[in-house]
Structure 1
Amino acid sequence: MKRILALMLAAVMTATVFAGCSADNAVSESTGEGTTQTTETQQPTAVVSKQTNKLSNNTQEKEKTEFKPDFDFCTNSVSKLNLVNSDSYIESYYPNNAYHPKLIDLGKEWNGYRFWLSYTPYPKGNDYYENPQIVGTNDLINYSEVKYTEPPLANYKKSVRYNSDSHLVYNEELDRLELFWRYTDYDTDYMALYMRYSYDGDNWSDKLVYFETYEKEKYDMVSPAIIRDDGAYKVWYIGHYQLCYRELRNGVWSDPVQTDLSFEDGAYIWHADIIKTNRGYELLGCATTDKKDRKHMNLYFSASEDGLNWETGVKVASPSEDYTAWDGGGLYRPSFIYADNHYIVMYSARNDYNDFGTGLLVGRDMFNLHGTDLDYIYNGQADAQRLWDYLNNDL
């Protein structure tokens, strides 16, 4: 299987080496205060079952229609997504500098929105603003007002005490959203995963301690990817550039386990998102070939039947070949779902001029991801419908 994946990727990369954008490239209990973004006026005509019932890289090919999109495909996302910092003053100077997204698809409208998203603003790489925010959307392009923002830390200290690494979970048993994020204090070797929950997306609970340790060096959980499943919270995270696993069941944490995830080019995992599928588990993450450089990374895909033994990770996305583009430096933590016979990927990225943001890729499989030249910020209403016309008709 590992060799097959590598061969598949090699074929795809040979067919899709591309620097620009062309139609010919197709298929190569606290209440948050926030600012207002463009709000949906029309929900796309998507008919979708929940991602956990449909995911597979081996989906049988369906008969294609004659539908052709009225936009061009690109290697990467030309436009950022319109994800704002709730601090409107900072947003005016560093627009749409959202980082570290976590997207979930509820398969139906929940308190007004089918999709919910957490992310952390990261203007000019300033971790003072790296505090989780929540928005809802019905089309992945036009977003609600910011539903919740974690307040800036009173004891913030640059690169020492700060928030990071948000993650969002839908707890089906309790019918609520659960927001998780990581807090660190290097001065005291302390690390915690905090959690807030909401039954309506607007009103959020007090901050709860989900996990904590005063041995951060040993037990840190970088970029936790959390799945609520089988009565437990299953947590994958990065520890010393290795993918590790623990679970919380009946209030008791299991011991840490290091998985066997590795990559075709010897890269080291740094951040990842993991979803449960009919293959078992699928992973999309950023990894670096140089532990001293976490600015210039690529995205890699892997799958596992049990969450511990993983197929060799294969590179599926890279920075834009235009180094001046917003994502021309390196890719960072992605999030992904499967809907309308497509993988939909939100990926955070940066260039070398302190511009950060989150973009969008789509593909019928993980080895044919592509962006578009659609404008998600200034033409969101029209371009969202154009994108979903394509997703709904590309069968």
Structure 2
Amino acid sequence: MKQFSILGIYCLLLLCLAASCKKGSVLIAPPNHTVKNTPPTDSAVKSIDSLPDDNIDNELTWAIERTNQEENTYRLDSVDLSSINFEPSKEPLTINSIATGDLINDILNKDTLSNEGWTHPSVLFFANGWNGYKYWMAITPYPKGRNQYENPHIFTSQDGKNWNTPFGLENPIEGTPTPFKRVQGYNSDVNLLMKGDTLICYWRANYVNVNNDNNVRCIYCKTTVDGINWSAKRLISVWNAVKLDVIAPSIIKDSETYYCYGVNKYETTAGTYYTTNAIRRMQSNSPFNFVADITKGYDLINIAGRPWGEGQEPWHIEARKMDNLWFLLVTTTPNGGSGSGGYLYLGYSTDGINFNFNDHPLGKVKNTYKSSIVIHKLAEKNKLVVELWRTSSLNWQIFYDRFTLSAKFSKK
């Protein structure tokens, strides 16, 4: 009887379950079987093409995900720099690496770095990734302001905030220069440029041996197609170390012409926006050859007014180009200084020579140094979304900021 009763109860339960299924109850799926849920109502989810709200995280995510569509559809025509307003980050990025310096008595100086001791970031963004990563960065160590460690390092990221050495690469990609005639030279000021499928890393070298002369500065570069294996270095440009300079060389391409922007700190006549440190530009039909000579095309950049005031002038820069507009990210220094105590400014131009700047520094942060930006279109909201890797000269730390600015676009 007990067995019959249990069997009867079991059959009754099966009948009840079958009846409830006919009324539309949710089935319990067996393993490895998926039951499709009823789609949510329109009020419960936004369309994939819905515009993001004004939250910077949402706007950046949306702009990044639609990079290819934005680039193919909209042309940037103008920007409103006065619309920039953001709260600077107070948390420095962590970039783990070992910096190498001078070789003394066959012992290589080393310093372990994490969230301080970094400067000169140069960041490129790849919407579809390049060799597996969306962000590539060149940067130099500068622990406690010691220039022996300013050698080019390469890091990768998927989000612009978390950085690692790409697997298989040993940093730095170029070590400290070999002393020549008892003079120890040093590297500085890196810059990344993409040429087809080749990544180029430039850097400025100081007091190194070029044609048996160490009273020079120059620009070198190395190239790679995978980010891991780098070519031998190539000499790009060379000049006398005490008569001219190309501080923070920033190289970009427009059409079939390459442009190298830099700061010359040896101007003999003060200009409207500088006392001795003017921004100049060279051009070439090759990314591997520039002539640093004021009489041969190292041309002066014009800036309306003196946006940083009478007590400051340019020190480091980064150039960018998007559609019809050129951008300059300028770090200033007190007149006669060498970088500390400066601010960060963003300017734009329609011809690459004549620039306009906002007279308010980005984030109103003092003691900034050479920094880097990546610009994304958000045309449907008439905005640009900007990622900023901002250097502080206080502890040589890198901060990650994001902000928007109003812009106007036209259909391509």
Fold shared, TM-score > 0.5 on shorter chain: yes
Distance 2:401 2:186 in 1: 30
Percent identity, aligned pairs only, is 21
> Which residue identity does 1:246 align to in structure 2?
M
1:126 maps onto 2:146 in alignment: yes
Is contact 2:77-2:325 (8 Å) kept? no
Q: Is the Cα contact below 8 Å between 2:329 and 2:347 reproduced in 1?
A: yes
Instruction: Give the superposition deviation at 1:232.
Output: 2.8
Taking structure 1 as reference, are residues 160 and 153 closer, same or farther at Cα in structure 2, changes over 3 Å only?
closer
1:184 correspondence with 2:206: yes
After superposition, the Cα gap between the structure-2 partners of 1:134 and 1:56, relative to the gap in structure 1 and judged at 3 Å, is farther
Correspondences of 1:377-388 after superposition (within 5 Å) = none
Q: Specify which of 321, 343, 347 is matched with residue 386 of structure 2.
A: 343
Q: CA deviation at 1:249?
A: 1.6
**In 1, distance between residues paired with 2:256 and 2:324?**
20
Given that 1:298 and 1:315 are in contact with CA atoms closer than 8 Å, whether structure 2 keeps it comes out as no
Aligned partner of 1:216 in structure 2 is 241
8 Å contact from structure 2 (residues 138, 155) kept in 1: yes
Measured after TM superposition, the shift of residue 81 of structure 1 is: 1.3
One-letter amino acid matched to 1:276: K
SS at match of 1:311: strand
Partner of 2:349: 304
Relative CO higher for 1 or 2, CA cutoff 8 Å, sep ≥ 6? 1
Give yes or no for the alignment of 1:202 onto 2:228: yes
Unaligned runs of 5+ in 1: 1-25, 28-43, 60-72, 321-328, 368-395
Among 91, 106, 131, the alignment partner of 2:112 is: 91
Give, as a single letter, the amino acid of the residue that structure 2 aligns with 1:336.
Answer: I
Gaps of 5+ in 2: 1-54, 101-109, 266-276, 379-384, 408-412
Distance 1:223 1:183, change over 3 A: same
Give secondary structure in 1 for the equivalent of 2:97.
coil
Which of 77, 100, 123 matches 1:103? 123
1:259 corresponds to which of 279, 284, 301 = 301
In 2, the alpha carbon distance for the partners of 1:231 and 1:279 equals 15
For each residue in 1:105-141, what CA deviation from the matched residue of structure 2 results, as whole angstroms up to 9, or x when unmatched?
A: 1221110111110000110111111111111111011
Where does residue 92 of structure 2 map in the other structure? 80
Count of residue pairs brought into register by the alignment: 298
CA pair 48-127 structure 1, distance change in 2 beyond 3 A: farther
The 3 A distance-change label for structure 1 pair 156 and 132 is farther
Distance 1:350 1:289, change over 3 A: closer
1:157: how far off?
A: 10
Deviations 1:270-321 (A, max 9, x none): 111111023420111111243236211111111111111111453332565x
CA distance in structure 1 between the partners assigned to 2:255 and 2:78 by the alignment: 24
TM-score, normalised via structure 2 length: 0.65
Greater CA drift, 153-162 or 74-83: 153-162
Alignment CA distance shift 1:237-1:206 (3 Å): same
1:244 aligns with 280
**Matched residue, 1:284:** 329
The match for 2:159 is 139
Q: CA shift at 1:158, angstroms?
A: 11
Name 1:334's counterpart in structure 2. 371
Residue type of the partner of 1:339?
A: H
Question: What is the alpha-carbon distance in structure 2 between the residues aligned to residue 156 and residue 252 of structure 1?
Answer: 24
Give the drift of 1:190: 0.5
Q: Return the alpha-carbon distance in structure 1 between the equivalents of residues 404 and 390 of structure 2.
A: 17
Q: Residues 152 and 114 of structure 1: is their aligned pair in 2 closer, same or farther, counting only changes over 3 Å? A: same
Q: 1:219 to 1:292 in 2, by over 3 A?
A: closer
Work out the CA distance in 2 between the residues paired with 1:138 and 1:360.
14
Larger-Rg structure: 2
Distance 2:89 2:181 in 1: 34
Q: How far is 1:340 from its partner?
A: 6.2
- CA, structure 1 residues 289+282, in 2 after alignment: closer, same or farther (shift >3 Å)? same
* TM-score normalised by L of structure 1: 0.68
